Amino acid sequence: MDVPRRLEPLKIYIYHTDHEHDRTYTENVVEYLQQRNALWRSITLSAEGYRPELQLCLDDRPTAVLGYNSQLDHSWVPSGSFMEAAERRNIPVLQWILDHPSSRWVEFQASTPANSRFLLNSEQEREYFEAYCLPGALTATTGGVGPNQRSRIGTLTWQAFARRPTACMIPLSLGRVRSVLENEAAMNALERPLADVVHDAIERAQYDLTEQLHSHLKAALASRGQSVSPQTFNILCQLVEQSVQTFRRLKIFAVARKFPVLIQSDESAAPFAGGLIASLETNVGMQFTLARIPLCRAVLSVSPMNDIIHDRTMNAINGGAVAILEDSVASKAIFQHNVNALLFRYDDDSLSECLDIACNQPERAFEIAEAGMKLRDDPRLRFGQFHKIIDLAQRHLQPV
């Protein structure tokens, strides 16, 4: 009689740099793993590429090792490349690309379909990665980085909501993977007709809150009879993504500065977000922002992809604040405008209307915040698709 092989307990090593963002994302993943009764270990990586601390997971042979962006790709252990060492020991390495893959894939050097699996935040990003970055790789989507416990409150009352000192917080960086000036320089360096293609794609995409971002670049290339390599497509798509996000954020600043809101951004936003009625704070940390959410009646956020709810929206309803977000295909699948959230577009006056409710109609804002808070434990928002982290880690295993 065959005795079934005993399954090893689920064990995930999480390696990250000593950066506030990475630490926060790790907190979210750990919270999920604890709910799954999984074993986990979180270890901070050395600043340099030589990282002997990775030897711990190689010796322990866990279910998987998780890292962010290209950090593990660039890592070395005493025997050589970490990626190669993990492959020799048959340890799945999960690399979570936190931004659009067009902006990050150029950083990867040692990753192959055999030695790595990839997590993307959205399905649109996953499809892009498989088509233009590393065809044949095992991939999965997480639905974003999830909400954090720092923003979560116990109960929401009208009295406490009315006393919140900030009508609306808008934490929105202008400089992202690279600065606006760096992106403009890269745009100016393009030769025609590719420069025309990029401008066409930006014009097509800047108001669109439904379709895939790269579909606009494909259409622009086709309309001008151009064909490019995947590497060039990545370069062009990064320019389009950065430019569209800059356009949208400047539109938000132009409207928001007329209201008594708190804008948090980087210093490059000062000429566009400062002055008038709004107040501007620069270079505010992520964890401080999360802790500040329960002091705000509303929080505005935007998503880089149309098929994802940003973690700031999840944290807004976590803290009993009105979620103000784009009227995207993802938003409309979960939220109802003026019922449990406020949705806006870029081609009308809807953002002004949303900010008017947040700033000047506290009773109405409370009703929306109260309804939105009821969604915070909805599986689509509580942990998004974090179960796919485990699914991807175990995909190589065969049933007993």
Write the pLDDT tens digit of every residue in 331-349. Answer: 999 999 999 999 999 999 9
Residue 291 lies in a domain: yes
Count of structural domains, the chain: 2
Tokens 């915040």 found at: 369
| Strands 169-171 and 262-265, sheet pairing | parallel
- Strands 80-81 and 76-77, bridge-based pairing: antiparallel
Domain that holds residue 110: 11-146+383-394
Distance of alpha carbon 48 from alpha carbon 122, whole angstroms: 30
Same domain, yes or no: 35 and 159:
no
CA atoms of 374 and 320, how far apart (whole Å):
9
Tokens 């107040």 belong to residue: 279
Closest residue by Cα to residue 246 from 298, 294, 175, 188: 175
What pLDDT, on a 0 to 100 scale, did the predictor assign at position 55?
97
Per the rule left: phi > 0, alpha: psi between -120 and 50, beta: everything else, 229 is beta
Distance between CA 271 and CA 257 in Å, rounded?
A: 11
Q: Is residue 54 part of a domain?
A: yes
Would residue 136 count as lying in a domain?
yes
Q: What is the pLDDT of residues 255-303, one digit of tens each?
A: 999 999 999 999 999 999 877 899 999 999 999 999 999 999 999 999 9
Residues 167 and 95 in one domain: no
Residues 280 and 172 in one domain: yes
Distance CA 351, CA 343 (A): 8
Is the pLDDT assigned to residue 1 strictly greater than 80?
no
Number of other CB atoms surrounding residue 254 within 10 Å: 13
Q: Against a cut of 0.85, is the pTM above it?
A: yes
